[in-house]
Amino acid sequence: MRTTSSVPRPSRLAVRRVDRVPAHLDERITLSDGSHGSVWSESLRTEGAQALATCTHGMLAGSPVLTRHRSGAGQGWYLSTRLDDADYAALVGRLLKEASAAAGAPRR
């Protein structure tokens, strides 16, 4: 049986997952943009994607955590950790703002 998913594979987003790394219960992952993640992260290697934030410490130091890959008129984003609630809300706000600007949405 063949199954499909509406979630893009990392390879289509120009990143490759090298390894998935669970975080310790009290460990927070600090990103280069000042945001924080927890629970898990992935060791990534970009293959054409732009790294927008990287891990700042530990065995994943320097590894991309948030990437963007532009293709034609579109773009795909990949986040390789679970962000804290406030940081996640800020990222969603950024994505919505960029999507509205790209679509030429009228300003209010």
pTM over 0.85: no
Whether 7 shows a pLDDT value over 50: the answer reads no
Q: What's the pLDDT band for 22 if we cut at 50, 70, 90?
A: low
* Tens digits of residue pLDDT in 23-68: 665 678 899 999 999 877 788 888 889 999 999 988 888 999 999 9
Domain ranges of the chain: 10-101
What counts of helices (H) and strands (E) characterise the chain? 1, 7
The CATH superfamily assigned to 10-101 is: Class I glutamine amidotransferase (GATase) domain (3.40.50.880)
Query: What is the rounded CA–CA span in Å between residue 59 and residue 69?
Result: 25
Q: Residue 19 burial (CB < 10 Å; 0-12/13-18/19+)? A: exposed
